[in-house]
């Protein structure tokens, strides 16, 4: 097998023309890409028109699988599934008796991403019968957020579902401490809370934050395969794998598995093999239950995210339980008891 | 229920006031420059950014506390203000107002780009800060570094007010502001006074930057957030009015906090700007501005 690359430069138009070039001139039999949801949307249109399988490793926009495409396959879970993970996690805590009937606050910044997250979280909260006592869309990049925190504090919420970029995430943490707001947990939609700046700016005050993640290196503790693949990866590229490289690797392996089973490079045969994909969890470096595509949407139905917690300045996997490298710390210690 | 609301109201007022003092202090420098020479410095927020980065550099390279480096911030920004006046503002003094607007706006773009080039777009926080944490007074929390900043703001306002109204140099500044030609006939060098105004204005925002860096993170875009509020503060208080800027800052801080807590966080700036629009409609010169 050989790989031909095209650079879409994060532009939807470029993605489209590169896909055209790869298919018509380079005669590729399948495409993998393209990270940015916007680029994946246009590039996969070209593949669809030409009848070439497109395997998407890492675009999480929920709309990509609602287009009724026949040649589009997605291995990564999408934003909806990640939001659903929060509620599976909370349900798990309920089953364990850790929480009873928590009051949720949904706090998101007011651009497209934050409002989408808010919508999804509200929907899932309703479906799983959680009480949302505070639902705040705040102006991104404000100078101060004391009234927002006041509002949440007054609502009596004990779990905050938060979607913020770096500057806001830092500001919120400082204000929580300043106004002595002590929720049981802050469940963050990655972004600002997993930004490299977050812990640098907050130090110990950033501890105990829970965030969703697509992947973490400490999965190696429960999945020896992660360590193995990462060693090869590191030897070649000099750095550890990330959620993005791990997902891209997995999509490529999925496609190769399909080509092997198809026993041919005929796109239609590869598509058929992809539809029959059934890779078990133990063959993946991802925290998924496997890879199996939905017959109509072609979304991998066995994907899931993980939840990491900041413990001693490190992001460690705490959920799903069977993949956790450290036990969950719950509830978050109150500010006055922290050193 | 009324208990909760009472406590929330008290806390909201406290937080709003503490931020209000900071807004006032940032607006002080802007109103000083405008008061003397009728030029709006659009790069004002970025002067604040520079001062915060000065505090950051002193902190990162010498482990110096922002409160210790404060005099350096003021001095360096004074020099910076004078240089900007000499290099950028003086040549456009007699040019049409649009040229003045574009020159300070260009300065804004330049400074922001420069900061991004040197320091990258990351958020930086000073280390080993003193006077951190909060004070719990009857269940109301006051952030210590913000109390320090508020005290600093009050001191700066008193100093600037006394300097302008009680010293000869201050009178000279006022004279130039009132009538440049008449002041020149009295032997006042208007060019030096203008340079002094820019120096003082920048030094004020230099102090604000050091006090702000003591609890707020530093990044190249920080001026955009605070600069915008400074313009509203100055316009609300009355262009060129020192007392006006002080009270306007407090009004904006408290309004923002009250609107955020009791109406909706997404509407807090809307309420602030509505009050501003209302005041400007009824009293175009602002709360305490002079009639021209």
For residue B88, how far is the Cα from the chain centroid? 21
| CB < 8 Å to A148, chain B | 260, 265
At B1 the pLDDT is 42
CB spacing of B260 vs A174 below 8 angstroms? no
Degrees, nearest 5: CA angle A175-A104-A323: 95
Neighbours of B261 (CB within 10 A): 26
Residue of chain B with shortest Cα separation from A107:
B265
| B151-171 mean pLDDT | 94
Position B2 pLDDT exceeds 70: no
Q: Does residue A278 belong to the interface with chain B, where contact is any CB pair within 8 Å?
A: no
At A299 the pLDDT is 96
Same fold for the domain at A12-77+242-291 and the one at A80-213+306-337?
Answer: yes
For residue A82, what are its two tokens? 């990640």
At B3 the pLDDT is 53
CB-based contacts of B177-181 (< 8 A; 24+ apart in sequence) = B177/B35, B177/B36, B177/B37, B177/B240
CB spacing of B12 vs A142 below 8 angstroms? no
Cβ contacts of B1 within 8 Å, gap of 6 or more: none
CATH for B2-120+142-282, among 3.30.1490, 3.40.50, 1.10.3470, 2.60.40? 1.10.3470
* Min Cα–Cα distance to chain A from B16, Å: 8
* Min Cα–Cα distance to chain A from B284, Å: 27
For residue A54, what are its two tokens? 């497109």
Q: Give the three-state DSSP class for A119.
A: helix
Counted residue by residue, chain A has a size of 339
| B48-72 mean pLDDT | 94
At A28 the pLDDT is 96
* Min Cα–Cα distance to chain B from A320, Å: 32
Position B292 pLDDT exceeds 60: no
CATH number of the structural domain A80-213+306-337? 3.40.50.2300
| CB < 8 Å to A202, chain B | 125
CB spacing of A146 vs B258 below 8 angstroms? no
| B58-73 mean pLDDT | 93
Closest CA relative to residue A45, chosen from A16, A66, A68: A16
Query: How many Cβ pairs within 8 Å bridge chains A and B?
Result: 85
Give CA–CA dist A16/A19, Å, rounded.
5
Cβ contacts of A210 within 8 Å, gap of 6 or more: A185, A186, A187, A188, A307, A308, A309, A318
User: Are the C-beta atoms of residues B22 and B211 closer than 8 Å to each other?
Assistant: yes
The H-or-E segment that residue B71 falls in is: helix B66-84
Q: What is the mean pLDDT of chain B?
A: 90
What stretches of A97-238 show up as alpha helix (H) in DSSP? 112-127, 146-155, 166-178, 196-202, 224-237
**Sites in chain A below the pLDDT cut of 50:** none
> CA torsion sign, B248 to B253 to B258 to B259?
positive
The domain locations on chain B are: 2-120+142-282
What percent of chain B lies above the pLDDT cut of 90? 61
| CB < 8 Å to A174, chain B | 215
The H-or-E segment that residue A268 falls in is: helix A267-275
The domain locations on chain A are: 12-77+242-291, 80-213+306-337
The H-or-E segment that residue A213 falls in is: strand A210-213
At B93 the pLDDT is 87
Phi, psi for A260 (deg, rounded to 5): -60, -45
pTM greater than 0.95: no
CATH for A12-77+242-291, among 3.40.50.2300, 3.30.70.1290, 1.20.120.80, 1.10.10.60? 3.40.50.2300
Q: Which of B16, B134, B225 minimises the CB distance to A141?
A: B225
CB spacing of A197 vs B122 below 8 angstroms? yes
The H-or-E segment that residue A132 falls in is: strand A131-138
Closest CA relative to residue B218, chosen from B58, B105, B55, B96: B55
Counted residue by residue, chain B has a size of 292
| CB < 8 Å to B123, chain A | 166-167, 170, 197, 201
The H-or-E segment that residue A103 falls in is: strand A103-109
Position B4 pLDDT exceeds 70: no
């Amino acid at each position: 097998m050989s790989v031909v690359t095209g650079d879409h430069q994060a532009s939807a138009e470029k993605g489209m023309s590169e896909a055209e070039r790869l298919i018509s001139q380079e005669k590729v039999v399948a495409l993998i890409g393209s990270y940015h949801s916007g680029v994946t949307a246009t590039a996969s249109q070209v593949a669809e028109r030409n009848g070439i399988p497109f395997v998407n490793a890492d675009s999480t926009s929920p709309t990509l699988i609602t287009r009724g495409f026949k040649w589009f396959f997605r291995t990564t879970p999408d934003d909806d599934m990640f939001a659903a993970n929060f509620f599976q996690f909370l349900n798990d805590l309920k089953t364990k008796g850790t929480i009873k009937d928590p009051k949720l606050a949904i706090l998101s910044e007011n651009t497209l991403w934050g409002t989408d997250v808010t919508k999804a979280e509200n929907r899932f909260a309703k479906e799983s019968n959680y009480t949302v006592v505070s639902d705040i869309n705040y102006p991104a990049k404000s100078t101060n957020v004391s009234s927002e925190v006041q509002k949440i504090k007054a609502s009596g919420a004990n779990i905050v579902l938060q979607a913020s970029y770096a500057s806001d995430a830092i500001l919120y943490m400082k204000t929580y401490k300043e106004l002595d707001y002590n929720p049981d947990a802050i469940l963050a939609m990655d972004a600002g809370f997993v930004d490299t700046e977050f812990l640098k700016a907050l130090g110990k005050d950033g501890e105990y934050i829970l965030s969703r993640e697509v992947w973490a290196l400490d999965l190696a503790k429960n999945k020896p395969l992660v360590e193995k693949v990462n060693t090869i990866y590191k030897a070649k590229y000099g750095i550890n794998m990330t959620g993005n490289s791990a997902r891209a690797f997995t999509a490529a392996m999925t496609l190769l598995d399909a080509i092997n089973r198809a026993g041919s490079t005929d796109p239609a045969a590869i598509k058929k093999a992809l539809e029959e994909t059934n890779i078990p969890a133990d063959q993946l470096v991802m925290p998924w239950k496997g890879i199996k595509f939905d017959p109509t949407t072609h979304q991998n139905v066995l994907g899931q995210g993980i939840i990491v917690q900041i413990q001693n300045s490190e992001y460690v996997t705490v959920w799903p339980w069977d993949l956790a490298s450290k036990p969950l710390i719950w509830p978050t210690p109150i500010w006055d008891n922290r050193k | 229920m009324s208990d909760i609301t009472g406590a929330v109201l008290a806390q909201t007022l406290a937080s709003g006031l503490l931020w209000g003092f900071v807004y006032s202090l940032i607006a002080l420098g802007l109103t000083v420059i405008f008061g003397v020479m009728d030029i709006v410095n659009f790069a004002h927020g970025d002067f604040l950014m520079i001062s915060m980065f000065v505090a950051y550099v002193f902190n990162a390279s010498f482990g110096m506390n922002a409160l210790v480096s404060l005099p350096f911030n003021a001095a360096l920004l004074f020099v910076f203000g004078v240089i900007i006046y000499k290099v950028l503002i003086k040549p456009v003094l007699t040019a049409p107002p649009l040229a003045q607007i574009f020159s300070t706006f260009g300065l804004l773009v330049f400074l922001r780009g420069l900061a991004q080039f040197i320091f990258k777009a990351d958020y930086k926080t000073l280390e080993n800060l003193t006077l951190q944490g909060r004070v719990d007074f009857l269940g109301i929390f006051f952030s210590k570094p913000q109390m320090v900043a508020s005290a600093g703001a009050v001191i700066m306002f008193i100093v600037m007010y006394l300097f302008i109204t009680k010293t000869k140099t201050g009178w000279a500044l006022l004279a130039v502001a009132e009538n440049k030609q008449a002041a020149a006939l009295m032997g006042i060098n208007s060019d030096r006074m203008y340079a002094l105004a820019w120096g003082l204005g920048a030094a004020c925002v230099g102090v604000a930057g050091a006090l702000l860096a003591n609890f707020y993170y530093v990044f190249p875009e920080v001026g955009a957030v605070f600069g915008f509020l400074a313009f509203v503060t100055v316009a609300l208080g009355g262009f060129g009015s020192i007392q006006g800027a002080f009270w306007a800052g407090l009004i904006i801080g408290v309004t923002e906090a009250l609107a955020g807590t009791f109406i909706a966080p997404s509407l807090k700036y809307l309420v602030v700007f509505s009050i501003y629009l209302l005041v400007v409609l009824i009293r175009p010169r602002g709360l305490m501005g002079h009639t021209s």
